[in-house]
Chains A and B, each alone.
Chain A
Amino acid sequence: MKGYHSVQALYGEDRLTKAKIRKNGEMVEVPIAEALDLVASKLKETRDKHGKDSVAIYGSGQWTIPDGYVASKLFKGCLGTNNVEANARLCMASAVTGFMTSFGIDEPMGCYEDIDNADVFITWGNNMAEMHPVLFSRMTANRKRRTGVRIIDFATRSTRTSQAADKSILFKPQTDLAVANAICHEIIGNGWVNSNFVNEHVSFHKGKTNIGYGIEDNFAFTDKDEAISFEDYKLFLADYTPEKVEKISGVSAKDIKYMASLYGDPAVKVTSFWCMGMNQHTRGTWINNLVYNIHLLVGKISTPGNSPFSLTGQPSACGTVREVGTLTHALPHGVVMNEQDRKHAAEIWDVPVENIDPKPTYHTVEMFRALDRGDIKFMWIQVTNPMVTMPNLKRYRNGALKDDRFVVVSDVYPTPTTDVADVILPAAMWIEQEGLFGNSERRTQHFGQILTPPGEAMSDTWQIIEVARRLGFEKQFPWGQDNYIEKIWEEYRRFHSGPKHEMAPYKVLRERSGVQWPFVNGKETRWRFNPKHDPACSNGKDFHFYGKKDNRAWIWARPYEPAAEFPDNQYPFWLNTGRVIEHWHTGSMTRRIPVLHNAMPASYVELNPEDAIELGVVNGEKVKIISRRGEITMPAQINGRGVPPRGMVFVPFFDESYLINELTLDAFCPISKQPDYKKCAVRLEKA
Chain B
Amino acid sequence: MMKRKEQWNRWVVTAAALCCLGIIHFSLDRAVFAGVGNDDFDHQSGKLYRAYDAVPEPYLAADSGDRNLAGFYELRQYPGSPPRIPHAADITFSGNARDCLACHAKGGYSAEFAKYIPVTPHPENSLCYQCHVQKVTDERFVQSTWQSITPPRLGLSFLASSPPSIPHSLQLRENCIACHTGPAAVVEIRVSHASRGNCRQCHVPTVQQEAFSEFRRK
Contacts and interface: CB of A to CB of B under 8 A. Distances in A.
B204 A619 contact: no
Interface of B is mostly: loop
A618 B53 contact: no
A141 B195 contact: yes
A52 B158 CA distance: 50
Given A5-B158, A592-B215, A599-B206, A620 B165 contact: no
Which of B33, B43, B52, B202 has the most CB atoms of chain A within a 10 A radius of its CB? Answer: B43
Contact of A7 (B45, B159, B197): B159
B80 interface: no
Interface residues of A, number: 49
A581 interface: yes
A488 B175 CA distance: 50
Which of B46, B57, B161, B163 has the most CB atoms of chain A within a 10 A radius of its CB? Answer: B46
B163 A141 contact: no
A641 B201 contact: no
A635 B159 contact: no
A582 B53 CA distance: 25
A351 interface: no
A640 B158 contact: no
Contact of B165 (A7, A129, A595, A657): A595
A656 B203 CA distance: 25
A619 B161 contact: no
Nearest to B202: A1
A639 B43 CA distance: 6
Contact of B198 (A129, A618, A642): A129
B206 A4 contact: no
A457 to B, nearest CB: 19
B66 to A, nearest CB: 25
Contacts of B40: 619, 639-640
Nearest to A598: B206
B213 to A, nearest CB: 8
A4 B162 contact: yes
Contacts of B52: 140, 144
B159 A591 contact: no
B32 interface: yes
B194 to A, nearest CB: 11
Which of B33, B195, B218 has the most CB atoms of chain A within a 10 A radius of its CB? Answer: B33
B197 to A, nearest CB: 5
B4 interface: no
A499 interface: no
Contacts of B196: 137, 141
A209 interface: no
Contact of B35 (A129, A592, A602): A602
A582 B206 CA distance: 12
Interface string A599-642: 11110100000000000001111000000000000010101111
B36 A595 contact: no
A129 B39 CA distance: 15
B202 A595 contact: no
A5 B49 CA distance: 24
Given A137-B201, A594-B212, A639-B40, A8 B158 contact: yes
B159 A5 contact: yes
A640 B161 CA distance: 29
A461 B212 CA distance: 36
Contacts of B112: none
A528 B35 CA distance: 47
Contacts of A129: 198, 201
Interface in B52-96: 52-53, 57
Contacts of B139: none
B201 A597 contact: no
B42 interface: yes
Contact of A136 (B32, B158, B201, B214): B201
A598 B217 contact: no
A13 interface: yes
Nearest to A136: B198
Nearest to A134: B201
B51 to A, nearest CB: 11
B202 A637 contact: no
A567 interface: no
B45 A163 contact: yes
Contacts of A600: 37
B205 interface: yes
23 contacts: A1-B202, A14-B217, A133-B198, A137-B196, A137-B201, A144-B57, A144-B197, A145-B57, A160-B42, A163-B45, A163-B49, A581-B201, A594-B158, A595-B165, A599-B37, A601-B35, A601-B37, A602-B35, A619-B40, A620-B35, A639-B43, A640-B42, A643-B43
Interface of A: 1, 4-5, 7-8, 13-14, 129, 133-134, 136-137, 140-141, 143-145, 158, 160, 163-164, 414, 581-582, 591-592, 594-602, 604, 618-621, 635, 637, 639-643, 656-657
Given A591-B215, A599-B205, 20 more contacts: A1-B203, A4-B161, A4-B162, A4-B163, A129-B201, A134-B201, A137-B197, A137-B201, A140-B52, A141-B197, A163-B44, A164-B45, A164-B198, A582-B204, A597-B215, A599-B165, A599-B204, A621-B33, A639-B40, A640-B40
